[in-house]
Structure 1
Amino acid sequence: MSEKPSVEQYLQNIQEGQFKAYKCVDCGMVIAPPSGSCYGCGSSNMDWTTVSGKGKLVAFTVIHIAPDEFAEEAPYYIAIIELTEGTRVSARLLGYDPLKPEDVKLGSNVKLEYETIESGKKYLAFRPV
């Protein structure tokens, strides 16, 4: 194992424009955000790996009442994306009108597109391909 996994490092990687997850050296399972042990086999033999940023939309919701940092952006989508590597992450969903959720299609292919908000913070966001 290269270093102890931390959500702080995961978020720092995102700020630097690097989407990385933890990968089990023993069974190959990819986990994001990182965990101290593999969800598949329980091994703690984990290391950082770069993630493709491609996946499928598996769930979404519209946020109408947002935390202060995002209050002026509401309404907006938050989605669960299943990455091609097999793990699932939550992220913003771009490219759809949040007042027309009927237009969003589960199973749609999506790709990573970082979103930088007014404060300069970068977040994971996905857009339909």
Structure 2
Amino acid sequence: MSEKPTIEQYQKKIQDEDFKAYRCTSCGAIIAPPGACYSCGGTEMEWADVSGKGTLIAFTVIHVAPDEFQPEVPYFVAIVELEEGTRVSARLKGYDPLKPEEVPLGIPVVLDYEEAESGRNYLAFRPA
């Protein structure tokens, strides 16, 4: 059996632009952190490949951010429901954060990454 995925490994995969989710070994549900299954409460997980395709469910514009992100304001943070059924929070690219009224909910989006000024990668999605 492979090593149980950890949040540190999850974050490293994002840094390496190799996003994966978790699969609950009890019920098969695909989840992204935290480490307990949303469906059955199970805690035994294994890595799961995901398509990187999803639907934009919600978003907000960040105008006030922690120091690390301050140079990047304003920016979008979105909730995306992946084709596999789990939801993740990520940056939203392809729209002007000063014009949030132009962002249509329910649109198809695809996985991308965004490198912050710190050099750190973050999950991001852009219109499909």
Normalising by the residue count of structure 1, what TM-score does the alignment of the two structures yield? 0.91
**1:20 has 2:20 as partner:** yes
After superposition, the Cα gap between the structure-2 partners of 1:30 and 1:4, relative to the gap in structure 1 and judged at 3 Å, is: same
Gaps of 5+ in 1: none
RMSD: 1.4
Gaps of 5+ in 2: none
The CA distance in 1 between the partners of 2:71 and 2:37, in whole Å, is 38
The CA distance in 2 between the partners of 1:2 and 1:123, in whole Å, is 26
**1:31 has 2:31 as partner:** yes
Q: CA deviation at 1:43?
A: 3.1
Q: CA deviation at 1:99?
A: 1.0
Q: CA deviation at 1:63?
A: 0.4
- Do the aligned residues in 1 keep the contact of 2:21 with 2:48 (CA within 8 Å)? yes
Where does residue 113 of structure 1 map in the other structure? 112
SS in 1 for 2:84: coil
Normalising by the residue count of structure 2, what TM-score does the alignment of the two structures yield? 0.92
Identity of aligned residues (%): 66
Written as runs of structure 1 = structure 2, the 5 A alignment for 1:1-129 is 2-35=2-35, 37-129=36-128
Q: CA deviation at 1:34?
A: 4.5
The CA distance in 2 between the partners of 1:6 and 1:118, in whole Å, is 26
Structure 1 outlier segments of 4+, above 6 Å: none
Counterpart residue type for residue 22 of structure 2: Y
* 1:4-46 C-alpha deviation (Å, 9 max, x unpaired): 33211100111111111110233221110251x4221233442
Q: CA deviation at 1:93?
A: 0.5
* 1:78-107 C-alpha deviation (Å, 9 max, x unpaired): 000000010000000011111111111110
Q: CA deviation at 1:112?
A: 0.7
Aligned residues: 128
